[in-house]
Amino acid sequence: MGTVEESLKCPVCQDVFTDPVTLPCGHDFCLTCIQTVWETDGPNEGPLFCPECQIFLPPDLVLQENSSLQTRVKDFTAKTSTQSQAAETPPPILCDHCIETPSVAVRTCLTCDASLCRAHALQHQQRSALREHTVVEVMEDPLSLKCREHRDELKLFCTEDRVPVCCLCVLVGVHKNHRALQLHEACADFKSVLESNMNQLLERRGEAEHAIKDLESLYTETVKYAADFRERVSDKYSRIRVVLDGDERLMMQIIDAEETYMLEWLEAQRGQMEAQIKEIDHLRASSKSLLQETNHLRFLQQITAQDLCDPLELTPIQEVDRSLCDPEKMRTVEKLVDDLSVALSQHFPRTWSYLSCPSLDCSTAHPRLEISSDRKQVFWRTQPGAEAGSSGPYDSQYSVLAQDSFSSGQHYWEVIVQEKPYWLIGVTSGPSHREEDSDLSSTRLNLNDTSWCIYHGDGQYLACHDTQEEQLSVGRRVRKLGIFADLQKGALQFYDADRLSLLHSFCVRSSDPVFPMLNPCIDVKGLNRQPLTLFCIQDP
């Protein structure tokens, strides 16, 4: 029954579907829930996306009810209702003082450890000897509100151990000499903390919503930029169509691939912001529920159990870096076409004409690395103690090689680094990586005289070969690194791939094949989890 019930629950409200609708991606939601997520009363006000898989949907999407799912919900609801009616109700709690004629208890005296009917509860209020007793709502286990060691009422709150205690605990027990407050004082203090936390959460939520709006704006602008650049570039190529058909196709592929990677990154950023909002909403809901608790003891038990006593230490919402989605590569495409009209022969063949799309070889990856299923991305694998034994975010052994090597000719490939603070990218030569070599990682994947790399660490760029390091002067942050290998000339050049501006050149003297090498570097405190991605264009 549990599995059936889970399949009939809306992912948004976590309740049984009401007027279920199915999105084109196959996910089901309550009609009101999906409209609330989209912040619209109708289907034509966008932006529309699936809260489950995060894909964007057509703005003219018309929601239609899933009749078969609605029938299953009605059958399940009817069956559940029948079972609930047939279930036995728990027996009532009886008054401990009514011997001959048992009466239902309505109150519980913690001082007497007794359940009281209405008449005996009234007697506790009227008799002066009983008036000081602590009487609460009727409960089956009054000992849960008393000290288990001294069987005395929990009237104080230990501020050091953050637990309700009795007077004896503070005088002679394990909380002796600890600072203690009365329950109402502790409640007031913690409610003040909760209110402050809720204000912080609300502020952070506003920042996250603002960041999402920026991401949505960038998404729209990226689509518009791509469309504008396609139109202008196509117009320029129409004037020199006879000799440039092949080059135009290449430029269109570059724009398509650039748009794809920019949109994928924007969607990933949006997912992170929405996850933070979901976490903030959960904390606010928990805090709001606690603030509505009127019983001091229960409030303190719940707030300590949920670890909400202290002011929150919230991670700041990262502002959207609009420069990461600047269509500079598309401008580069257009500028290259303009240059062609002036001096066509000077620009053939292009560096991008040699663009290859290598795949990563999982067998050469360090165990701490994770390779994507399409073998185009490498991540630092999240593991407990992943940073243990490391002196910093960079260690040259945490690398992976491409599946194919280059031994002749001219080859160019690009690696997307985007906002990663640490990475190492280059080439290495040596014995074939297909050979069974137990000491492979220590002999060939480290920096030595058979590797040529660019290392980025917190804004600084180093050209590395063997034991030599040269700091590079880079005007702006590199989002994509391009590597051009001219093996006939023994030249290895690194570029800012968006602008095709040269960063550094190596002279490579090696008779062995060279392998592209990627090192995402160690993740430190979750700041370097982003992948390294091989840029890839697709033939239409």
Question: Measured between alpha carbons, how far is 46 from 460 in angstroms, rounded to an integer?
Answer: 42
- Nearest residue to 512 via CA among 447, 432, 441: 432
Predicted model pTM: 0.51
Give rounded-to-5 percent helix, strand, coil for the chain.
40, 20, 40
Angle of helix 241-291 relative to helix 328-342, nearest 10 degrees? 170
Q: Give the ranges where 136-182 is alpha helix by DSSP (H).
A: 167-171
Q: Which of 143, 140, 141, 93 is nearest to 118 (CA)?
A: 93
| Pairwise CA distance, residues 394 & 401, whole Å | 17
Please provide the average confidence, as pLDDT, over all residues in the chain. Answer: 83
Q: How far apart are CA 123 and CA 117, in angstroms?
A: 10
With CA atoms as reference, report the closest residue to 210 among 281, 273, 275: 273
Tokens for 411, please give them: 């080859």
Query: Two tokens at 515?
Result: 């392998």
| Residue 314, both tokens | 């919230």
- Burial of 334 per CB tally in 10 Å (0-12, 13-18, 19+): middle
Query: In this prediction, what percent of the chain has a pLDDT beyond 70?
Result: 89
pLDDT (tens digit per residue) in 95-126? 877 877 788 888 888 777 788 888 788 877 77
How far apart CA 173 and CA 166 sit, in angstroms, is 9
The C-alpha atoms of residue 446 and residue 395 are separated, in whole angstroms, by 8
Reported confidence tier of residue 393, pLDDT bands at 50, 70, 90: low
Per the CB < 8 A criterion, the answer to whether 215 and 273 are in contact is: yes
C-alpha distances in Å from residue 322, one per residue of 55, 150, 205, 215, 445? 21, 63, 20, 8, 35
CB 533 within 8 Å of CB 376: yes
214-272 pLDDT tens trace: 999 999 999 999 999 999 888 877 777 766 678 888 888 999 999 999 999 899 889 98
Report the SS3 class of residue 243: helix
C-beta of residue 468 within 8 angstroms of C-beta of residue 508: no
The 3-state DSSP class for residue 68 equals helix
Mapped onto helix, strand or coil, the DSSP state of residue 63 is coil
Give the DSSP letter string of 257-284: HHHHHHHHHHHHHHHHHHHHHHHHHHHH
Residue reference for tokens 């992976």? 400
Q: What are residue 365's phi and psi, to 5 degrees?
A: -75, 140
Question: What's the average model confidence in pLDDT over 134-160?
Answer: 81
- The most confident of the ranges 21-25, 134-138, 347-351, 406-410 is 406-410
Among 483, 480, 477, which Cα is nearest to 460's?
Answer: 477
Position 360 confidence tier, pLDDT thresholds 50, 70, 90: very high
pLDDT at 249: 84
Q: Which one-letter DSSP state was computed for residue 531?
A: P
Lowest-confidence range among 108-122, 188-202, 504-518? Answer: 108-122
pLDDT at 145: 75
pLDDT of amino acid 250: 87
Query: Which residues, at least 6 apart from 403, have a Cβ–Cβ distance to it below 8 Å?
Result: 358, 359, 360, 361, 375
CB atoms within 10 A of CB 298: 15
pLDDT at 4: 59
Q: How confident is the model at residue 281 (pLDDT cuts 50, 70, 90)?
A: very high
Quickly state the pLDDT bin for 520 (edges 50, 70, 90).
very high
Question: What's CA 276's distance to the chain center, in Å?
Answer: 8
Give the tens place of pLDDT for each residue, 132-146.
787 878 877 777 777
Identify which has the larger pLDDT, 233 or 494: 494
pLDDT for the residue numbered 392: 46
Q: What is the pLDDT of residue 66?
A: 86
Task: Judge whether residue 416 has pLDDT over 70.
Answer: yes
Q: What is the pLDDT of residue 337?
A: 78
Asked if 523 and 406 touch (Cβ cutoff 8 Å), the reply is no
pLDDT above 90 as % of the chain: 33
User: What are the tens digits of pLDDT across the range 368-378?
Assistant: 899 999 999 99
Least confident of 64-68, 142-146, 358-362, 498-502: 142-146
Which residues touch 464 (CB under 8 Å, ≥6 apart)?
424, 426, 447, 451, 452, 453, 454, 455
Phi first, then psi, for residue 528 (nearest 5°) are -130, 40
Residue that is written with structure tokens 């360090």 in the block: 366
List the structure tokens of 313.
């230490």
Distances in Å between the Cα of 267 and the Cα atoms of 50, 60, 257, 451 are 12, 20, 15, 35
Of the candidates 131, 181, 176, 122, the residue with the CA atom closest to the CA atom of residue 154:
181
The yes-or-no verdict on residue 309 having pLDDT over 70 is: yes
| Of residues 338, 316, 490, 479, the one with CA closest to residue 410 | 490
Residue with tokens 């030569």: 429
Q: Which amino acid is at 12?
A: V
Q: And the tokens for 485? A: 């290998």
Burial label for 315, CB within 10 Å (0-12, 13-18, 19+), is exposed
Query: Is pLDDT above 60 for 171?
Result: yes
Residue 221 DSSP SS3: helix
Answer yes or no: are the C-beta atoms of 97 and 105 closer than 8 Å.
no
Structure confidence at residue 339 (pLDDT): 80
pLDDT band at 387 (very low <50, low <70, confident <90, very high): very low
Contact in structure between 519 and 396 (CB atoms under 8 Å): yes
Residues 170, 143: Cα–Cα separation, whole Å: 19
Q: What mean pLDDT comes out for the span 353-357?
A: 90
318: left (phi over 0), alpha (psi -120 to 50) or beta: beta
Q: Return the closest-CA partner of residue 459 out of 421, 416, 418.
A: 421
Residue 195 has pLDDT above 80, yes or no: yes
Q: Quick one: pLDDT at residue 435?
A: 41
Helix or strand (DSSP H, E) at 75: helix 67-86
Model pLDDT for residues 43-65, shown as the tens digit of each residue? 445 568 888 877 878 888 888 88
